[in-house]
Amino acid sequence: MSSRLQSTILASAVLSSSHLDVLGDRISTAGERESIDVRTPVTDEVVGTVPACEAADVDAAVERAQSAQDAWAERRPEERAQVLYRFADLVLDRREELLDAIQVETGKAREHAFEEVLDVVNTAGYYGKDGPGLLDERDRTGPAPGLTSAVETYEPVGVVGVISPWNYPMTLSMADLLPALLAGNAVVCKPDERTPFATLMLAELLEEAGLPDDVLAVVTGKGEVVGPALIDRIDYIAFTGGTETGRTVAERAGRNLIDCSLELGGKNPMLVLGDADIGVAARGAVKGAYTNAGQLCLAPERIYVDESVYDEFLDAFVGETRKLSLGVGVGYDGDVGSLIDGRQLERVRAHVDGAVEDGASVLTGGRYRPDVGPFCYEPTVLEGVPEDSQVACEETFGPVVSVYPVSGVEEAVSRANDSEYGLNASVYTRDTERGRAVARRIDCGTVCVNDPFTVGWSSMDAPMGGFGESGLGRRHGEVGLLRYVESRTIATSAFGPMERPASLPRRWFVRLASGALRAQTRVRRWLS
């Protein structure tokens, strides 16, 4: 594999083109394969290549993972956790090189790239600390306490497939992959072909941290080739991506009778109540809407503002947005980076241009900026967007947000819930109790009060996922770990089979059992 990195890109970088060559060569194939060019959004040049794996390559990776998984599962969870701890240290040790890789592959601002590094370390630390305890066997209540007992034990499902997207290549691969490993599974990961090197670098660090050979494999290639081959061979699939592709993944998983978790699209609402701190709300809107140039599944794309503070909020939000600087490259220049590629740029431009044609106003932004980078688009605020406009209904996945006045909380909640999606929402108010009460009425898997998404995503002990078309299942927390295990119930009777004594007539048995059940129900009611 060859890499070509212009000196202007990596003049001050730790990442080297030779390292990208090594990473590309890590991917095992059964023979010669076509190459996939990996382009940087910074200049739209090719920075490296990876093989376009075929079904046979996926089969071989899964077979190797299956062979390695038993020995990995036999290790105590506490021993597996030590690998995660060492991995977290290595991620921090190699921080600068990882940040270079994220910026080269995604074009995002370095501050936003650092959020990925933070999150990977946070995920490893959480599951390293709490994971082993969550995998302990649990006492369950038998039907006749004192005479019967039950325990629940956990076994890894086997080989887990992880299909991760391009927008957060480190965060979203590791959020699924690390708990799967801690649970005793092997993993085959398919990163997006536009951003394979970030995942490959982390796989390299996991091996350096002590993960045995073949417990983790990375396969690269086109989704329509690698995805089906992977789902047909594994025991669980974790997918992050678009809703339509998620449907296809779920259908294939269903045919194979394997479980899955899907984090899909969103059209996330933000509610600014009449008692909100306008400065806090404006900064939250900027943070939420423009992190990673809006290419964030949790980003607010529609903001509903109480009409009593609408003008004040709009002035503050537009003012904060205009302060943002665009920048691409390796380094800390620029508040907002690039879109990933030309296809994403065209989607953003089409949404904004369509909204303007439908009668919306652009309050700031709304311009393609090729002078900054080939796929850069200004942070954009829209007003007066019709409800049937494309940008109002579909996920834009770019630095574009629409703002609407509402008469009060009832209208805000109603309009927030008027969506097929339900991934993330935010509520801004000085009264946090009121904020939580409003949050309970919003049909989303996560609702943040006075924060756009960071406090929700970073609450590692709490589940994260979506309602409706935003997906199935949850990552993070206990459920994010236990999705990767099969539970086994072991029930024991101290007196033999639970059956009617042969000497007791059936009629009397029914009467006595009914009386005992009635008494048991009354005791339970009294104790509750």
Tens digit of each residue's pLDDT (9 = 90 or more) over 193-240:
999 999 999 999 999 999 999 999 999 999 999 999 999 999 999 999
Half-sphere exposure of residue 181: CA atoms within 13 angstroms, side-chain side: 35
Tell which residue, 215, 219, 216, 212, has the closest CA to residue 202. 216
pLDDT of residue 25: 85
Question: pLDDT class for 396, splitting at 50, 70, 90?
Answer: very high
Given a contact cutoff of 8 angstroms between Cβ atoms, the answer to whether 63 and 188 are in contact is: no
Residue in 263, 378, 395, 469 annotated catalytic: 263
Residue 245 pLDDT class (50, 70, 90 cuts): very high
Encoding tokens for residue 156?
A: 């890894």
List, in sequence order, the alpha helices (H) in 323-448.
Answer: 342-357, 390-393, 409-416, 432-439
pLDDT at 4: 45
* % of the chain residues with pLDDT over 90: 92
Look up 263 and say whether it is catalytic: yes
pLDDT reading at 284 higher than 90: yes
Q: Is the dihedral of CA 400, 475, 176, 78 positive or negative?
A: positive
Under 8 Å between Cβ of 19 and 149: no
Average predicted confidence (pLDDT) for the chain: 96
Residue 20 has pLDDT above 90, yes or no: no
pLDDT digits (tens, 9 = 90+) for 492-508: 999 899 899 999 999 99
Q: Can you give the pLDDT at residue 427?
A: 99
Mean pLDDT of 34-50: 95
pLDDT at 9: 65
What is the CB neighbour count within 10 angstroms for residue 25? 12
Which stretch of 16-25, 275-284, 307-316, 472-481 has the lowest confidence by average pLDDT? Answer: 16-25
Average pLDDT of span 308-334: 97
What is the predicted pLDDT for the residue at 429?
99
Q: Give the confidence band of 189 by pLDDT, cuts at 50, 70, 90.
A: very high
The predicted pLDDT at position 15 comes to: 75
State yes or no: pLDDT of 113 exceeds 60: yes
The pLDDT score that the predictor gives to residue 24 is: 84
Average pLDDT over residues 515-523: 93
Nearest to 88 by CA among 26, 136, 131, 38: 131
- C-alpha 13, offset from chain centre: 28
110 — pLDDT class (breaks 50, 70, 90): very high
- What gap in Å lies between CA 397 and CA 347, rounded to an integer? 8
Q: Which residue has the tokens 């605020």?
A: 381
Cβ-contact 268, 299 below 8 angstroms? yes
Position 58, amino acid: V
pLDDT confidence bin for 18, thresholds 50/70/90: confident
For 294-309, what is the mean pLDDT?
A: 99
Nearest to 338 by CA among 396, 295, 286: 295
pLDDT at 1 over 70: no
Q: Flag whether pLDDT at 12 surpasses 80.
A: no
What's the pLDDT band for 7 if we cut at 50, 70, 90?
very low
Mean pLDDT across the stretch 285-300? Answer: 98
Task: Annotate 28-77 with DSSP letters as a single string.
Answer: --SS---EEEEE-TTTS-EEEEEE---HHHHHHHHHHHHHHHHHHHHS-H
SS3 of the chain: helix, strand, coil, percent, to 5: 45, 20, 35
Q: Taking Cα atoms as reference points, which of 155, 151, 230 lies closest to residue 187?
A: 230
Does residue 10 surpass a pLDDT of 80? no
CB-based contact 72:81 (threshold 8 Å) = no
pLDDT at 144: 85
The structure's pTM equals 0.95
